[in-house]
Amino acid sequence: MKTRDGVTLLELMIVILLMAIIAGLALPGSQPTVHEQLRAAANIVASELELARSLAVSYNSNYTVFIDDVTNGLALRHTGVNAVLNSLPRELITTESSNETVRIVNLTKFRDTIGDVRIAATAELGAVMRAEKKIEFGPEGMPTSGLGFIIWLKVGREASTRYVTVIVDGETGKVTRGPLDSTPPPAGLSSDGLRK
């Protein structure tokens, strides 16, 4: 009886195909990684900021996003002088909103996607960085303060905590997402400091 020393290409392809099927079945049930959680949360926050900016430009008025680290949410409101615009377009009202004048997005609602990502800190980026919990966009799409704005999001505890930032450019209003890293916000800007 003759023995074989190797595997055929067909046998190798079958093994690879079976491994791909098993991996495909296992992946949908797996939890998102820390990187994926932070990226998804940053995308949600950035989308809300971009929505406020877009409304400000479209309606030639001011719109403000208020960031609440206690409820882990954001609220978007019209803050311009034209009271007719106080009621937001109906399709923008969320189930968390108490009325048509505010759009509320609570990050906790997205726990399946973003896990336990929390708002760690928010700040206005002037000559000196200072804690600020809101950013207003004007008709040109820029922050009315003329200053940049940054939001830190975090997940994890102690040494395993990871952060990502969402940044609004003070001159253009453009919203960008920063890198994932372990660098916390500067001392005095953490959410505990904002609650004082």
> Domain range spanning residue 175?
33-194
Residue 7 lies in a domain: no
Per-residue confidence of the chain (196 residues) as pLDDT tens digits? 555 666 666 666 677 766 776 665 555 555 678 889 999 999 999 999 999 999 999 999 999 999 999 999 999 999 999 999 999 998 888 888 889 999 999 999 998 888 899 999 999 998 899 999 999 999 999 999 999 999 999 998 888 899 999 999 999 999 999 998 888 998 877 654 333 3
22 assigned to some structural domain = no
* 6 inside domain: no
Let me know if residue 96 belongs to a domain. yes
CB-CB contact of 34 with 97 (8 Å): no
Number of domains in the chain: 1
Q: Report yes or no on 164 lying in a domain.
A: yes
Could you tell me the CATH number of the domain that includes residue 161? Answer: 3.55.40.10
Instruction: Provide the 10 A C-beta neighbour count for residue 55.
Output: 22
Question: Domain for residue 84, yes or no?
Answer: yes
